[in-house]
Structure 1
Amino acid sequence: MAWQLHYTSVAAGPTGRAGFQFVAETPGLPEGLRSRVAPLLTYRPPPGAPLAPTEREASRFPVALTYDLLGSHRVLTRCVHLGRDYSGRHGNFLGHALVVSPGELTGLRPVELWRAPFWKDSPETALPELTEIVPGGTADPESLGEWLAGQGDGGYARLGFLLETTVRALTRGHGRLVLVAGDVEEIVRWITVISYSLPQAVALGLSFATYSADPAAASQIIVGTTPDVWLPSDLDAEVVDLTRPAAGSGTGRLARTVVDRWRRMDMAALDGMAELGRTDPEAAAALVAFCDGDVTVTRAEQLDAARLLEAGLPAWVWRALEGAAGRMEYELAAAASATGPPDTADRCAARCVALALRDPELPLPAVRLRAATRRALEPRVRDALGGAESLTGLAAVALLAVEAGLAVPGRDLERRAAALVRAGAGDLRRAAGRMPYGWRGRLVEGALAGLETAPEEVRARLLTDEVCDLLAPADLTRAPRTGAAVLNRLVRRGALGRIDATERLVRLAPEPGRDTVLREIWAGPPTPAECGALAERLGASAGVSPVLAELPGRAFLSGGPREETARLARLVTSTAPAGSAELVVVVAEISGAVRPGDLAGPLERLLDARETAGPELRGAVAKAVLGVLDARGPEFRAKVVMTASRRAAAWLVDLWLRRVRSREEQARLLEVTVRLRLGGAGSERLDAWARGSPLGSVRARFAHDPDLLRGYEELVRPRTALWERLRPRLVWKRE
């Protein structure tokens, strides 16, 4: 509904009184509107106008078209000078008001009613209801564009400043713009250009007055006036003298974008901005500029533009955004992927994923990428893995790629993990916790490779208990130095038994660190049971390390149960007959020998094996052999010497001679000596010992065996004869 009112000075109005008053109105005018419109109907000629103008002069006075927001209504007023009133006084005018609801102006900008056909230049007594509001003959956008182009760069600079000032006043709720020109048509053109530069919904909120003799008191955002009007120095408004050259000034996104469109006469873009910017013209301008390829659009502006997408966009904007996806910041890309049509959503979601690969803290879009799009992003995954600056960052990239449905190149993952570990960058345990299922193994493999070639201080720092637990299940054979350190740490804190650790250590490449760790692990005495378990597990592999070769001998020295030692000997015999293990086997064979001749071969092998054994083990073996032979008696011992090789016989004789302590041992060894002589295998060393030893009363020991007694007598006869020769002399000397 649109209502009209006429206001002027008459001799007798509808109420019969004289003076300025409403003389006509559309029937049905809502109560209270008349009194609210009255203050808007005022007019004073410019100060330089004639006091008593002629009719022709009065017709040249500027027309004051104002537009104001009046609660839920919009009011346009047009005031024109009428010259003298009914009493002959100068200063009468006609105020024509149009009161409408916002819906009545749909598709129009208020300034387009500048020359509307319904405006009157003289008062009427009856005003019909307007069924249609038809705009006047104001300049169309194309004509205004040509007019701006004619003013050159100065005109465009002025437009940018005027638009920036206007938008600032609209968005901040304060501030005004005063346009000064001698021709009101000039002011109208600028107001029209500004109105066309704004979305129609925004232009409906732009109040203006094409002319006011008192701009300081005017309430509109844009106010026009003439050069002869006095303006106070403290006027809270931007004053632009349109009669002077334009001065440049900084402008915002909206102003710059609009001016650029006017320069290019891109009216479609202006219409598009108008369509987009109903609530936020600056954001709309940023969005249009971005779609147009303007690289100066900032991230903050893209964020503002992203909020516009929720309300929907024209098809041309979605198409433009699809092509510009590669330039989007995350916020705009995420908004477009969530609200755009399928093609645009896919492209913008891909942009989100690409940005998230650089910064894994960014969330993934909800849109599922198409297969072709995922394949196209795979090089980005490789780049992101290669650019990861820490192990946790590497894990984050892998996790994001998996969640986005992208293929993760395992070799690239391993290579980067190795490089980062080698440089000591990152927390391996934390990174493994963030790795997606199925990819932790590749991270561990890469970490092992990096640890293997890392400086010793880096490896020592990174191999914490938690990291060792993480690496323990991996194939450590690819990193023997690191593997040895890991297994050693696990054993030291009781997380792995030394048998299990040894089994894994022998699979590592033979390098110095492995044997060092084996020696540390087996620093405590091994038991026969442990050595037997190792023999069963390792087989011939037990011979790969000299440390392991010593274990059976060390177990033998530990004095474990005889049954376990024998079992160990049998196991070692069948698996790894070398080193100290051979000594243990030989001792076991000697212990179990039934006939003296059965010891010949074992004794020979024992002498060969003991060449590589340490003094402690050699002494223990000798003691064990002596114990076995002592338990068998002198006859058995003598037969062993007779059946053994000369080297073995000499070794046994040497052992016996060095071991003789007690009289009983002397007697047994003397019997061995006698039996050897009877068997034709006498030992010169034993014979010499027997003849030089204090014999005492040993004859009775051999009385039960005539052969032994005869042999004994033959052995000691030279000594007896000597005694018989020397005894008289000794007796003579004693006397």
Structure 2
Amino acid sequence: MAWQLHYTSAEAGPAGRAGFQFVAESPGLPPGLAGKVATYLSYKPPPTAPLAPTPAQVAELPVALAYGPLGELSVLTRCVYLGQDYSGRYGNFLGHAVVVDADELMGLRPVEFWQASLWSDAPAPPGTALPELADPLPGDRVDPESLAEWLASGGEAAYTRLGILLEAVGKALSQGHGRLVLVSADVEEIVRWIGVISYSLPWPVAARLPFLTYSADPGAAPQVIVGTTPDVWMPSDIDAAVIRLDEPPDPSARLGRFARTVADCWRRSDLAGIDAIGELGRSGGGGGRFEPETSAALLAFCRGDPSVTIEEQSAIARTLSGDLPEWLWHDLGERSGEMGFELASAARALAPADTAERCAARCAVLALRDHTLPPPAPPLRQETRESLRGEAAQVLAAAQDLEELAEAAGTAHAVGAPVAGTDAGTATRALVRHGSGDLERLLGRVPTELHEAVLAGAVLGLEESPAEIRDRMLTDGVCDLLESRDLSPVPLTGMAVVLSLVRRARISRIDATVKLIRLGVRVEGGMEQDRDAALLSVWDAAPGTAECTALVDRLGTAMSASPHLSDLPVRTFLAEGLEDPDVVRLAELVRGSVPGYPATDAEVVLLAASVEEAELPEDAASLLQRLGALEAEAQEDLLREAVALAARALARRDPRFRTEVVKELPEVDRARLSNAWLDGRRSRDEQAALLEVAIRLHLAGQTVPDLDAWARSELTSWSLFGSAESRFKRDGELAAGLREMAKGRRGRPWKREAR
């Protein structure tokens, strides 16, 4: 039910007083309501209107149709000028008010009540009980179809003006302040523009839009849209957009999305599009505030308008609600491929299942492309996840470094996108080959299911990379991960891994050597030099006897695979000393296991060690001759040590035995043995023994030049001669030989420094 009230100047109203007052109203009007309605009831003619107009001139004066809120109710008022009141004074008017609730205006724009049949042109007699209106009927002069025709008749200028008006109203409604003043001598034109604006808004918004078709004081009018005539004065600081309808619109005016979109809908007579914006406005969020730009952007987005910006999408995301119409969710799903992450995430959370799944896929795609975005939960359907496979492959292939690759792989795992191991491995291989990033960090971050494929690709990339990149990439952590892999197909990488492991004592030198030798099976193109350098690095310090023995046991003939390995036995022999029994046992093992010069070196050790056990001089001489025969093949230092060992062994025999050994030797071997005896420091007993050997060789006519020269020089010492003379006095032959060698020397004493 709607209540009616008439307001005018009467000589005697229902209360018996004179003046402006409510003269008639509907029964049951709530107390105090009339006073609230009175604030909407005022009228002054335009300033240029005649002071005493004729009835015809009165009929030409503008009608003031107003609409506004009234607490939980709304009020429609229509004020018309009447001219003279009961006293003959001009300025009387009729204010007809209709108070309604929301149900009475459901689906209607208040401006539709322009020229409705319910309005009275004359006040009812004072005290009249006005009927309640069960179903207030609007007029038929303001409808969207006729308004669309009227706009079309105005050409492009009309749509330009509409855009400007909608921009002003949209800002006022969304910002909560500001007004629009329409200036025209024709109130019908103002009504049409209010009608077009009302139909451009969602019904709930239009139902809350206060307007006034005419006011003689627009600066003081509280409505959002106020009409006035050109002759009305307005203050310069009025808080409103003032539009003169008798002037052409500004074609350069900047318009927002809402104004542009709705004006275009009117231009194309697309009333369904306008209704869609209205439906979005009713369904959207925003805490009840009308968001015209967002509603228009949402419609434009659903229709495939590529000009919708990411900022507009964000605004849409913030105002989405679960009560959007089904068609909208369907259209949004169709456009999911153009969504930004924020809109896709919001739609996924609110949309029905099919659209939500599409938006989930879009979120996943965007997260794959931009690793700064938080990875969304995976789509629910397996087929949706499978559809992400190609995108994941492209993102992995486009990674610029290993850090980006790790992020891409991690995001793919988080969003449920399948990633082929071959794709991950290929991308890793290319980036590692060019040294793009931190390999150890990648391996620590890559999802478990891709770890093996990434590691395999990394190994191939390492092998193909320059040495400086490979050295940088192969950190100790990476080498630990590669320790258990078969690296024989990638020997350069394998060598670096082995060196890292042995340097940190993760594996023994023996195990490292075995690994390097196995890598050597496939070494080609000059890589043997790299492997030999690696072996030299491993065995920079000579092995002990036990370690070398274990190595020979493990490798056997493979010791000859590298000259550095072949040198290890002799290095051990020299480092440990040839008199060590373990060295002798090692030499026996080498001689039987390692071909080539290591076996020769081992033979040298064994020959030298055997001299100690020789029972007969000829046996010892034979061993020394065999030792001498190896001079060309044996390591020089080892041969010298071996001869010295043999010489020391023979030095422990009596001079007769030693003399016989010398006599059995060829000249070169005699010289080598005697020089070994002469080297180093000698005790008095050893000097005497050597002197006896020299004398016996002299007597036998088989002197050794260096030994003989030494003996003769030593005999210049009176003390040595006297000691020898005393020692040999019981052997006449030796004594005679002593005197013979000393003959001619005793007058020129000269002492050779002991060696």
TM exceeds 0.5?
yes
Structure 1 segment 376-415 matched on structure 2, within 5 A:
376-415=387-426
The structural deviation recorded for 1:197 is 1.2
Q: Match for residue 115 of structure 1?
A: 115
Q: Select 1:619's aligned residue among 626, 640, 645.
A: 640
Cα 1:543–1:637, aligned 2, differ >3 Å: closer, same or farther? Answer: farther
Give the Cα–Cα distance (whole angstroms) in 1 for the partners of residues 140 and 634 of structure 2.
119
Name structure 1 gaps, 5 residues minimum: 678-682, 703-708, 731-735
The structural deviation recorded for 1:334 is 1.7
Do structure 1's residue 269 and structure 2's residue 273 form an aligned pair? yes
Q: Please say if residues 369 and 404 of structure 1, whose CA atoms lie closer than 8 Å, have aligned partners that are also in contact.
A: no
Q: Please say if residues 262 and 296 of structure 2, whose CA atoms lie closer than 8 Å, have aligned partners that are also in contact.
A: yes
What SS does structure 2 have at the residue aligned with 1:558?
A: helix
Do structure 1's residue 344 and structure 2's residue 355 form an aligned pair? yes
Give the Cα–Cα distance (whole angstroms) in 2 for the partners of residues 449 and 690 of structure 1.
71
Q: Match for residue 658 of structure 1?
A: 675
What SS does structure 1 have at the residue aligned with 2:639?
A: helix
What SS does structure 1 have at the residue aligned with 2:388?
A: helix
Q: Match for residue 262 of structure 2?
A: 258
Q: Match for residue 91 of structure 2?
A: 91
Cα 1:655–1:307, aligned 2, differ >3 Å: closer, same or farther? Answer: same
Q: Match for residue 140 of structure 1?
A: 143
Q: Kindly provide the CA deviation profile for residues 635-689 of structure 1, in whole angstroms up to 9, marking residues without a partner as x.
A: 999999999xx9xx77754531322334566489789989xx9xxxxx9786997
Cα 1:78–1:551, aligned 2, differ >3 Å: closer, same or farther? Answer: same
Give the Cα–Cα distance (whole angstroms) in 2 for the partners of residues 134 and 570 of structure 1.
124
The structural deviation recorded for 1:541 is 3.6
Q: Kindly provide the CA deviation profile for residues 244-276 of structure 1, in whole angstroms up to 9, marking residues without a partner as x.
A: 222221111111111222222222222111111
Cα 1:389–1:237, aligned 2, differ >3 Å: closer, same or farther? Answer: same
Q: Match for residue 175 of structure 2?
A: 172
The structural deviation recorded for 1:307 is 2.5
Give the Cα–Cα distance (whole angstroms) in 1 for the partners of residues 147 and 635 of structure 2.
110
The structural deviation recorded for 1:552 is 1.6
Give the Cα–Cα distance (whole angstroms) in 2 for the partners of residues 374 and 74 of structure 1.
54
Q: Match for residue 78 of structure 1?
A: 78
Q: Please say if residues 449 and 478 of structure 1, whose CA atoms lie closer than 8 Å, have aligned partners that are also in contact.
A: no
Give the Cα–Cα distance (whole angstroms) in 1 for the partners of residues 622 and 34 of structure 2.
137
Do structure 1's residue 580 and structure 2's residue 598 form an aligned pair? yes
**Worse-superposed segment, 29-38 or 458-467:** 458-467
Q: Kindly provide the CA deviation profile for residues 194-239 of structure 1, in whole angstroms up to 9, marking residues without a partner as x.
A: 1111112222232111111111111111111122222233322211
Do structure 1's residue 370 and structure 2's residue 360 form an aligned pair? no
Structure 1 segment 300-319 matched on structure 2, within 5 A:
300-319=311-330
What SS does structure 2 have at the residue aligned with 1:69?
A: strand
**Worse-superposed segment, 497-506 or 466-475:** 466-475
One-letter amino acid of the structure 1 residue matched with residue 318 of structure 2: R
Q: Match for residue 733 of structure 1?
A: none
Do structure 1's residue 153 and structure 2's residue 156 form an aligned pair? yes
The structural deviation recorded for 1:609 is 7.3
The structural deviation recorded for 1:69 is 2.2
Cα 1:687–1:363, aligned 2, differ >3 Å: closer, same or farther? Answer: closer
One-letter amino acid of the structure 1 residue matched with residue 99 of structure 2: V
One-letter amino acid of the structure 2 residue matched with residue 552 of structure 1: P
The structural deviation recorded for 1:608 is 8.4
Structure 1 segment 260-659 matched on structure 2, within 5 A:
260-278=264-282, 279-368=290-379, 370-469=381-480, 472=483, 475-492=486-503, 497-508=508-519, 509=523, 510-559=527-576, 562-569=580-587, 571-573=589-591, 575-580=593-598, 582-584=600-602, 587-588=605-606, 591=609, 611=632, 614-626=635-647, 652-659=669-676
What SS does structure 2 have at the residue aligned with 1:439?
A: helix
Cα 1:89–1:636, aligned 2, differ >3 Å: closer, same or farther? Answer: farther
Cα 1:519–1:137, aligned 2, differ >3 Å: closer, same or farther? Answer: same
What SS does structure 2 have at the residue aligned with 1:13?
A: coil
What SS does structure 2 have at the residue aligned with 1:82?
A: strand
Do structure 1's residue 196 and structure 2's residue 196 form an aligned pair? no
Q: Please say if residues 212 and 225 of structure 2, whose CA atoms lie closer than 8 Å, have aligned partners that are also in contact.
A: yes
- If the length of structure 2 is used for normalisation, what is the TM-score? 0.82
Q: Please say if residues 3 and 25 of structure 1, whose CA atoms lie closer than 8 Å, have aligned partners that are also in contact.
A: yes
**Worse-superposed segment, 691-700 or 520-529:** 691-700
Cα 1:17–1:416, aligned 2, differ >3 Å: closer, same or farther? Answer: same
The structural deviation recorded for 1:457 is 4.7
Q: Match for residue 57 of structure 2?
A: 57
Q: Select 1:229's aligned residue among 229, 232, 235.
A: 232
Cα 1:602–1:141, aligned 2, differ >3 Å: closer, same or farther? Answer: farther
The structural deviation recorded for 1:169 is 0.9
Q: Please say if residues 586 and 603 of structure 1, whose CA atoms lie closer than 8 Å, have aligned partners that are also in contact.
A: no
Q: Please say if residues 502 and 538 of structure 2, whose CA atoms lie closer than 8 Å, have aligned partners that are also in contact.
A: yes
Give the Cα–Cα distance (whole angstroms) in 1 for the partners of residues 213 and 475 of structure 2.
81
Give the Cα–Cα distance (whole angstroms) in 1 for the partners of residues 629 and 184 of structure 2.
124
Q: Please say if residues 361 and 379 of structure 2, whose CA atoms lie closer than 8 Å, have aligned partners that are also in contact.
A: no
Give the Cα–Cα distance (whole angstroms) in 2 for the partners of residues 544 and 69 of structure 1.
102
One-letter amino acid of the structure 2 residue matched with residue 530 of structure 1: E
Q: Please say if residues 586 and 602 of structure 1, whose CA atoms lie closer than 8 Å, have aligned partners that are also in contact.
A: no
Give the Cα–Cα distance (whole angstroms) in 1 for the partners of residues 105 and 667 of structure 2.
131
One-letter amino acid of the structure 1 residue matched with residue 674 of structure 2: L
Give the Cα–Cα distance (whole angstroms) in 1 for the partners of residues 303 and 562 of structure 2.
74
One-letter amino acid of the structure 1 residue matched with residue 122 of structure 2: S
What SS does structure 1 have at the residue aligned with 2:278?
A: helix
The structural deviation recorded for 1:691 is 12
- If the length of structure 1 is used for normalisation, what is the TM-score? 0.84
Q: Please say if residues 68 and 207 of structure 1, whose CA atoms lie closer than 8 Å, have aligned partners that are also in contact.
A: yes
Q: Match for residue 680 of structure 1?
A: none
Give the Cα–Cα distance (whole angstroms) in 2 for the partners of residues 19 and 118 of structure 1.
25
Q: Match for residue 241 of structure 1?
A: 244
The structural deviation recorded for 1:618 is 3.4
**Worse-superposed segment, 601-610 or 659-668:** 601-610
Q: Match for residue 35 of structure 1?
A: 35
Give the Cα–Cα distance (whole angstroms) in 1 for the partners of residues 642 and 240 of structure 2.
113
Superposed CA RMSD: 4.2
Q: Please say if residues 378 and 385 of structure 2, whose CA atoms lie closer than 8 Å, have aligned partners that are also in contact.
A: no
What SS does structure 1 have at the residue aligned with 2:237?
A: coil
Q: Match for residue 15 of structure 1?
A: 15
Q: Please say if residues 433 and 464 of structure 2, whose CA atoms lie closer than 8 Å, have aligned partners that are also in contact.
A: yes
Cα 1:540–1:193, aligned 2, differ >3 Å: closer, same or farther? Answer: farther
Q: Please say if residues 51 and 90 of structure 2, whose CA atoms lie closer than 8 Å, have aligned partners that are also in contact.
A: yes
What SS does structure 2 have at the residue aligned with 1:186?
A: helix
One-letter amino acid of the structure 2 residue matched with residue 264 of structure 1: R
Give the Cα–Cα distance (whole angstroms) in 1 for the partners of residues 444 and 674 of structure 2.
70
The structural deviation recorded for 1:164 is 0.6
What SS does structure 2 have at the residue aligned with 1:399?
A: helix
**Worse-superposed segment, 49-58 or 381-390:** 49-58
The structural deviation recorded for 1:525 is 3.0
Cα 1:651–1:578, aligned 2, differ >3 Å: closer, same or farther? Answer: farther
